[in-house]
Amino acid sequence: MKNWYVYFLSSEKKRWYYVGSTNRLTERILEHNEGKVHSTKSQRPLKLVYKILFMTEQEARRCEQKVKKMRREKERIIREIEN
């Protein structure tokens, strides 16, 4: 069984963050930086700034959607990353 992650990427061009989930973290970050992900293609280069480990896909997807929908939660995590 593979672990699942919710991950935060930061653009090195400007203050911009992306939140996603995957069970192939290293490969997924490479896909983002190779321009294979439409939503992040224009923000490259990107770096991993935060990840949260989950045991199941369902838990990771639920957390990803919560963070994406709840602006305050996303901003809280970003403040923790920046400090």
Contact 47, 9 (CB under 8 A): yes
Q: Quick one: average pLDDT of 29-53?
A: 96
Q: What's the chain's average pLDDT?
A: 92
Q: pTM (2 decimals)?
A: 0.87
Answer positive or negative: Cα dihedral of 38, 52, 50, 68: positive
What percent of the chain has pLDDT above 90?
Answer: 70
Answer positive or negative: Cα dihedral of 3, 31, 65, 69: positive
Q: Which domains does the chain have, with CATH numbers?
A: 4-82 (3.40.1440.10)
What integer pLDDT is reported at residue 20 of this predicted model?
Answer: 97
**With bands split at pLDDT 50, 70 and 90, how would you rate the model's confidence at 38?**
very high
